[in-house]
Every structure is written in structure tokens, then in C-alpha cells.
Amino acid sequence: MDSQLLERTAAELVAAGKGILAADESNGTMSSRLEAVGVKASAETRRGYRTNIFATAGYEIAVGGVILFDETIRQSMDDGTSVPDYLTSRGVHPGIKVDTGAKELAHHSGEKITEGLDGLRERCAEYFAMGARFAKWRAVIRIGEGIPSPANISTNAHALARYAAICQEQGLVPIIEPEVLMDGDHTAERCYEVTAEILDATFAACKTQGVHVPGALLKPNMVMSGKACPEQASRAEVAQLTVDCLTQHVPHDLPGIVFLSGGQSDEDATAHLNLMNSMDVDHPWQLSYSYGRALLAHALQTWASGSGEDSQNAFAHRASMNSLARSGSWSAELEG
């Protein structure tokens, strides 16, 4: 394990003003999103949409890395340059989704375990040779009646730790993503409890597996009320609860936390990040973002209408708004 390479890459991914673009939807998910805006899905339309985004002028000021799907990392820009080589030439680290999806957890109805450990070492070695320098693995934790179960917490924590150790062995910075879903009617306080539980279990497993924490990143949910909860936590409450939970349950030698947007509106995702970075406290880690739809929803709609330039402008705007939120400098007036 090259700990210096891992630490340097992790620091560059969350450098001042920067975050991560999550463009790693599976072929099925990306196809569904294209078809929802009236575009016939194919390998070429998926490539055309994504490479148009990657070619946006100036976004490297706000984006330190892009998470790719297996199909995309093997594709090329319009001029024939491979996608990872093109991103690297822009000063943006290529990343790769390496899990194979969340499947039903045996004997635990309604709960899932993320799979993909078989063959992971070989896949990571191939992706590193192709130019990838970081990876992502998403675990899914659902809150409901009697869940999450101890089995769901422990199996996902173990898988995340095994994944992280294998990635680091092969030179890839692991993004560790234990996502507590917003689905349900739970309170923000219940979300806090479950988030704390999965974080404790995950980092305990990482310690057991020998994961080098300064060479990893965490991609957690924010602490929020469930979508169906009659009492929704305010933006200020979300920011405070999230920071309190992370401060108590995340190692302070982790270089960065890159939040997922998890179904939030574009502006909510930016506002919450901005509030956290506006606090009169020195956080032990960089508080950043790893957003997909919260960066690209409008850009996709605009691209579908036939304007690549307008789509790039829409992405550039959202990226710049979140870049400002990295330093607490965003305001709603800047949304225009």
C-alpha cells in the first residue's frame, strides 16, 4: 500500500472549493433517466450526455474527481481521447464505482447487502491501470419497523471495510458510502441514531481490516427527517445534527467527508453544506460534496432539449454554487 499516494489523492479530491461529481449511475438507471426526458437510451446517448458534461469549461475549479461507471471509463471523448485520460488532463481524478449493487439480505426482509467483493482485487488493478485513482462502494441502510437489524449493520460494515482495504492495496482511495435512506416517516433524531450506529460499526470494521483512514473518504447521508415524517427538520437543524453526529462518530484523521444529496432538492443540498461550513468551529475534516442529481438534474433536462452548451452552463452553475458552499460563501440570492 502506497499511503503517500492515497493521502495525496484524497487531499486533492477535497481541496479548497472542490467536490466530486457522481456520474456513476448504472446503465439501467442512466437509461431510465434519459428515457424520462425523451431520449432513446443507448451506449452512445449515455456517452454523448456524459462526455458533454465532462467537456464543460472551467468546472475543474469546483470538481476534484468524477465517479464513473464501468461502461464510461472504457469510452472516449468525441476526439477519441479516453475518458479517464481526458479527465486527468483537466486536473480531475477519474474514479470508479466498484460494487455490483445492493441485493436482498438473506432472512431479513426489506434489508439489503451490497455485493461485489468477489474479483474486486483484479477489477481494482485493471481500473488503476486505466487511470482511476479512487473508487466508490455504496451500502444501503433503511429505517423502518424493527430495522435496521444488527445483521444488516454488521454485514454492510464488514463489506465496506473489506472493499476499502482492497482498494487501498491497489492504489485507489476508497470512498466509503453507508447511506441511511430518506425513505420512511422517521424523525431526524432516529436518523441520527441509525447514522451513528452504522458509522461506528463501519469504522470499527475498517480498523480490524487495517484500512488507512487518512487515505480514505466518507460519503454519508446528512441527518434528516424521513420524507414521510410530518415534522421536517429545518435546514439549520439538519446542519447541526449532521455535524454533531459526524464529530462524535467519525475518526478525526479522515481527510474529508463528501456528502451524498440523497433525494434533496438542488438548493437544499447546497444550503445544508453551506450552513455546515459557515459554523464558527474548525471541523477536523474537509466538508465537501459528492453529488449526482443535485449537480446534473437540470443539465440533463437541458441536454435532452438539444442544447449541449446550455446543459454545460446548467452544470457549471450548480458546481459553482456548491464550490461556494465549501467555504460558507453561498447565498440563495446567487441562484439567480
Which residue segments constitute the domains of the chain, with CATH numbers given?
Answer: 3-335 (3.20.20.70)
Phi and psi at residue 182, to the nearest 5°: -80, -10
pLDDT digits (tens, 9 = 90+) for 285-325: 999 999 998 999 999 999 998 788 999 999 999 999 999 99
Average pLDDT along the chain: 96
Whose cell is 460519503? That residue is 219
Rg (CA), the chain: 19
Dihedral sign for Cα 76, 79, 80, 82, please: negative
Got the DSSP string for 99-150? Answer: ---EEEPTT-TT-EEE---TTHHHHHHHHHHTT--EEEEEEEE--BTTBS-H
pLDDT at position 307:
81
Contact 315, 301 (CB under 8 A): no
Phi and psi at residue 303, to the nearest 5°: -60, -40
Asked whether the bond before 148 is cis by omega within 30 degrees of 0, the reply is yes
Query: Nearest Cα to 110, choosing from 183, 177, 160?
Result: 183
Segment holding 162, helix H or strand E: helix 150-169
Tell me the average pLDDT across 131-154: 96
Q: State the catalytic residue, choosing from 18, 97, 136, 219.
A: 219
pLDDT at position 112:
97
227 tagged catalytic: no
Tell me the average pLDDT across 3-15: 97
Q: State the catalytic residue, choosing from 25, 177, 179, 197.
A: 177
**Rounded CA gap, 28 and 143, in Å?**
26
Q: Which three cell numbers stand for residue 91?
A: 486536473
207 tagged catalytic: no
Cα dist from 317 to 30, 185, 323, whole Å: 22, 33, 10
Res. 140 pLDDT band, cuts 50 70 90 = very high
Q: What does pTM read for this prediction?
A: 0.95
